[in-house]
């Protein structure tokens, strides 16, 4: 830990507002909000081991929203997706899964899919590429499943076109390969396609959704799909230790997200695109350009130590945190950050925030 690291942490703590992500909240505020939501939503009963109460209500509402027969709530997306892939692979009699090599399951799950489920991942795409029908057809036949991340977060939340998506779906059905979607940010992707969520979900055999990112819940995830597959998935939820005695606090937070934040996804994406345009005008680079969702990468031509010095100074002066952490890229002298626009961003002028970013870059 360097002196500059300590200075940055102190500056962040002293900020009274931030631009990316959600507003800062204390645990007591969150719990009080959940109590109010129970009254507003008429949640009078607890679930018991994920049955009844807010959990059953959430699963019912989600299945209807996504146009699928059933949904299964999980406390963790990691557990949800590994369990779903296990179901598909056991049905197909093989543990081979076609997957993008930037997928969350490969990058951020500590090799859990292989160690826990013996899943054998094979590359569907390499690097910052969207999955296509051609890529799926080029794989060795006999896959247990294929997984597509929408959007591909580690590529700047990159999305395929609607045509590419429908062609991929048709190819999977032609090949008899169950097609699963990592839809952790599918809510934020819907404005890109400008189609109902049910129409998007209809292209896939199963889809995972998250409730703690754009939806703002404390935790929680779910998978939607056909009834028989979801029945098998519930068994794996129990086997994986996910059938907790009480899941209502997480489910109530998810219901609030569906009610309050889902209708605002278009606003978040519009703000992000306006902000990206201002950043480009200020001399920074964004990827994708324009953004496909409310999340994208920002690149600044500046050595990291100098940028961090300016970052600390700006926060100390303005008491505003304009971005998350920055890190060095493979290109010498170029740094990057991931920016995500939610409620916090909507309270700021995109041009003003872009000016702060230009200051960070030393422009």
- DSSP letter for 208, please: E
Domain membership of residue 211 as a residue range: 43-246
Instruction: Give the largest CA-CA distance in the chain.
Output: 61
Q: Does residue 88 sit in the same domain as residue 236?
A: yes
User: How large is the average pLDDT for residues 9-32?
Assistant: 96
Confidence of residue 354 (pLDDT cuts 50, 70, 90): very high
Is residue 251, in this structure, part of any structural domain at all? no
User: How large is the average pLDDT for residues 163-180?
Assistant: 98
User: How large is the average pLDDT for residues 180-190?
Assistant: 98
User: How large is the average pLDDT for residues 25-40?
Assistant: 97
Is residue 226, in this structure, part of any structural domain at all? yes
Q: What percent of the chain has pLDDT over 90?
A: 99
Does residue 322 contact residue 16 with C-beta atoms inside 8 Å?
A: no
Residue 107's nearest CA partner among 159, 138, 143, 149 is 149
Confidence of residue 234 (pLDDT cuts 50, 70, 90): very high
Q: Does residue 72 sit in the same domain as residue 164?
A: yes
Q: Among 216, 246, 276, where does a domain finish?
A: 246
Q: Looking at residue 303, which CATH number applies to its domain?
A: 3.90.1150.10
Is residue 209, in this structure, part of any structural domain at all? yes
Report the alpha-carbon distance of residue 47 to residue 180 in Å, rounded.
28
Assign 171 to helix, strand or coil: helix
Token pair belonging to 128: 């910052």
Confidence of residue 97 (pLDDT cuts 50, 70, 90): very high
Q: Is the pLDDT of residue 14 over 90?
A: yes
Q: Does residue 297 sit in the same domain as residue 212?
A: no
Q: Does residue 198 sit in the same domain as residue 328?
A: no
Q: Does residue 214 sit in the same domain as residue 89?
A: yes
Q: Among 246, 275, 305, where does a domain finish?
A: 246
Confidence of residue 143 (pLDDT cuts 50, 70, 90): very high
Please give the tally of structural domains in the chain.
2
pLDDT tens for residues 196-216? 999 999 999 999 999 999 999
User: How large is the average pLDDT for residues 51-60?
Assistant: 98
Place of tokens 């896939």: 204
Q: How many CB atoms lie within 10 A of CB 6?
A: 11
Is residue 255, in this structure, part of any structural domain at all? no
- Exposure string of 210-219, with b = 16+ CB inside 10 Å and e = fewer, is bbbbbbbbbb
Is residue 101, in this structure, part of any structural domain at all? yes
Q: Among 214, 246, 278, where does a domain finish?
A: 246
Return all residues near 106 (Cβ < 8 A) that are at least 6 apart.
99, 121
Residue 359's nearest CA partner among 281, 300, 319 is 300
Report the alpha-carbon distance of residue 220 to residue 230 in Å, rounded.
17
User: How large is the average pLDDT for residues 242-255?
Assistant: 98
Q: Is the pLDDT of residue 1 over 90?
A: no
Return all residues near 236 (Cβ < 8 A) that are at least 6 apart.
83, 84, 86, 87
pLDDT tens for residues 287-342? 999 999 999 999 999 999 999 999 999 999 999 999 999 999 999 999 999 999 99
Q: Does residue 201 sit in the same domain as residue 60?
A: yes
Residue 363: predicted pLDDT: 83
Q: Return mean pLDDT, the chain.
A: 97
Q: Does residue 71 sit in the same domain as residue 205?
A: yes
Is residue 34, in this structure, part of any structural domain at all? no
Which residues share a beta bridge with 297?
A: 287, 338
Residue 222's nearest CA partner among 192, 247, 259, 202 is 247
Q: Does residue 146 sit in the same domain as residue 272?
A: no
Q: Does residue 205 sit in the same domain as residue 93?
A: yes
User: How large is the average pLDDT for residues 174-194?
Assistant: 98
Q: Does residue 20 sit in the same domain as residue 98?
A: no
Assign 104 to helix, strand or coil: helix
């Amino acid at each position: 830990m360097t002196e500059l690291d300590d200075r940055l942490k102190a500056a962040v703590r002293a900020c009274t507002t931030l631009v990316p992500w959600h507003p800062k909240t204390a645990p007591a505020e969150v719990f009080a909000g959940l109590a109010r939501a129970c009254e507003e939503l008429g949640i009078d009963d607890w679930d018991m081991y994920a049955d009844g109460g807010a959990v059953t209500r959430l699963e019912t509402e989600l299945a209807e929203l996504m146009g699928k027969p059933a949904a299964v709530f999980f406390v963790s997306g990691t557990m949800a997706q590994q369990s779903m892939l296990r179901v598909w692979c056991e049905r197909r009699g093989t543990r081979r899964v076609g997957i993008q090599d930037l997928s969350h399951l490969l990058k951020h799950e500590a090799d859990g899919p292989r160690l826990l489920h013996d899943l054998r991942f094979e590359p569907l795409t390499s690097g910052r590429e969207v999955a296509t029908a051609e890529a799926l057809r080029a794989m060795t036949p006999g896959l247990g499943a294929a997984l597509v991340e929408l959007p591909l977060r580690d590529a700047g939340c990159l999305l395929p076109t609607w045509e590419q998506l429908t062609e991929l779906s048709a190819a999977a059905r032609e090949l008899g390969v169950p097609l699963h979607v990592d839809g952790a940010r599918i809510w934020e992707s819907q404005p890109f396609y400008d189609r109902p969520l049910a129409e998007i979900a209809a292209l896939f055999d199963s889809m995972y959704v998250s409730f703690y990112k754009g939806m703002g819940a404390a935790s929680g995830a779910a998978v939607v799909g056909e009834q028989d597959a979801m029945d098998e998935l519930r068994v794996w939820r129990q086997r994986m230790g996910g059938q907790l005695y009480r899941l209502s606090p997480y489910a109530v937070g998810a219901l609030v997200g569906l009610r309050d934040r889902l209708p605002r996804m278009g606003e978040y994406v519009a703000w992000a695109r306006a902000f990206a345009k201002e950043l480009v005008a200020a001399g920074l680079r964004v990827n994708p350009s324009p953004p496909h969702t409310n999340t994208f990468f920002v690149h600044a031509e500046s050595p990291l130590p100098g940028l961090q010095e300016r970052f600390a100074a700006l926060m100390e002066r303005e008491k505003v945190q304009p971005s998350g952490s920055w890190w060095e890229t493979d290109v010498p002298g170029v740094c990057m950050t991931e920016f995500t626009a939610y409620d916090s961003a909507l309270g700021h002028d995109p041009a003003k925030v872009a000016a702060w970013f230009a200051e960070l870059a030393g422009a």
